[in-house]
Amino acid sequence: MPTRRGQGKSDDVDAGRIARSVLGVDTQLLRRPRADTGPRVALRVLVVAREQLNNDRTRAINSITALTRTVDLGIDTHRPLTTTQIRTIAAWRAREEPDWLATCRAEAVRLADREGVDGLSMRRLADALGAGAMSLYHYVASKEELLDAMIDIVFEEIELPPVDTGWQSAMRRAAGTIWRRRWCRA
């Protein structure tokens, strides 16, 4: 296989990369193309890092766009996602809640894991938390609301698959995460 070493580059993609890699480099250094020291190497590292970040960002945006087009999330998918929409979607993954609610949800999941969803009651949860049953209703309106919050914990445990994973494999992994919780099977 013939090497292209020292022959130069002719296609547009390589020419663009070469141009970006030498921007801002002293012309004296450009005359020594194989010198792998100094600012030329630093610039090359920065350009490669920027391209990698751009590729990662594009992959993430494409994944979010695919999700919004396959699952009705109430977002207009006829146009490209805006920065505001992407920030909104990213905030869905992060849960900002008071400590008492996080503790309540976590303890409810522990009880349901141990005793099943039928063994979970507001009274048992209040006992496990060391609180009165009626005081728990001040924070959680009903058992159904508590179950919704518990399901959120399970969905937070689902890891996003790598981009190159097929949808069937990704769904199997998500189902496995849900299936590990005995109380989610009912």
Q: pLDDT per position in the chain (186 positions), as tens?
A: 445 455 554 556 666 666 667 666 666 666 555 556 667 777 777 888 888 888 888 888 888 888 788 877 777 778 888 888 887 777 776 667 788 888 888 899 999 988 888 888 889 999 988 888 888 888 888 888 888 888 888 888 887 777 777 888 888 888 888 888 878 776
Nearest in space to 81 (alpha carbons), one of 73, 1, 55, 159: 73
This prediction's pTM: 0.47
Radius of gyration in angstroms for the set of CA atoms belonging to the chain, rounded to a whole number: 27
Cα dihedral sign, 164-168-170-176: negative
**3 located within any domain:** no
Q: Are both 89 and 110 inside the same structural domain? A: no
Q: How far apart are the first and last CA of the chain?
A: 62
Q: Write down the pLDDT at residue 50.
A: 85
**105 located within any domain:** yes
**75 located within any domain:** no
Q: Are both 112 and 85 inside the same structural domain? A: no
Q: Write down the pLDDT at residue 9.
A: 46
Residue-number span of the structural domain to which 114 is assigned: 99-184
